[in-house]
């Protein structure tokens, strides 16, 4: 179920990512949008971080799309990382731990941008460009479709949070 729900989110994110030519920007935008969806739907965000990457992303679209964009960035000489698997693991760690931090309520408003700036620096992008990539405006994706998100909306309303007036 975690993998399916992640795939539903990526179905609305990936078209926005594929419209971007720069593979480094694709990594940033895809990651920020995924983290933003977890903040938008905190029940889902908490769920995917609890089940972890083994059930939530390995062999699923998150793994496939992130690896695709990282490989493109490596081939284009945008990232200074020896192996795409190492880059994927670092990026997934940033995303998953980042979601937990966002949901904790202790994260600064620009946490996702700070995280992506640090990720770009770790991948060898200069400070000025990393900041530009991380803080660039991004599109607002539509709501994901599918049974899982219909259930989240029914339980929590449009903000994805449980409310006291909701009965189960």
CATH architecture under which domain 2-142 falls: Orthogonal Bundle (1.10)
Q: Mean pLDDT throughout 120-143?
A: 96
User: What 3-state class would DSSP assign to 15?
Assistant: helix
Mean of pLDDT values over 124-146: 93
Helices (H), the chain: 2-18, 23-40, 42-56, 61-75, 84-104, 111-122, 127-135, 147-156
| 125-141: average pLDDT | 96
Q: Average pLDDT for residues 48-75, to the nearest whole number?
A: 77
Q: Give SS3 for 125.
A: coil
Model confidence at 10, pLDDT cuts 50, 70, 90, reads confident
Q: CA-to-CA distance for 50 and 18, rounded, in angstroms?
A: 28
**Which tokens is 70 given?**
């990282």
């Amino acid at each position: 179920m975690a993998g399916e729900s992640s795939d539903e989110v990526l179905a609305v994110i990936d078209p926005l990512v594929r419209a971007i030519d720069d593979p480094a920007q694709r990594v940033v935008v895809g990651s920020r949008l995924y983290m933003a969806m977890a903040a938008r739907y905190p029940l889902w965000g908490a769920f995917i971080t609890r089940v972890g990457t083994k059930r939530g992303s390995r062999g699923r679209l998150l793994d496939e799309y992130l690896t695709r964009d990282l490989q493109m960035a490596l081939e284009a000489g945008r990232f200074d990382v020896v192996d795409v698997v190492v880059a994927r693991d670092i990026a997934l760690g940033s995303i998953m731990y980042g979601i937990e931090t966002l949901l904790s309520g202790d994260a600064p408003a620009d946490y996702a941008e700070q995280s992506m700036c640090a990720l770009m620096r770790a991948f060898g992008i200069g400070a000025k460009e990393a900041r530009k990539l991380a803080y660039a405006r991004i599109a607002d994706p539509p709501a994901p479709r599918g049974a899982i998100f219909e259930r989240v909306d029914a339980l929590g309303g449009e903000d994805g949070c449980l409310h006291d007036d909701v009965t189960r």
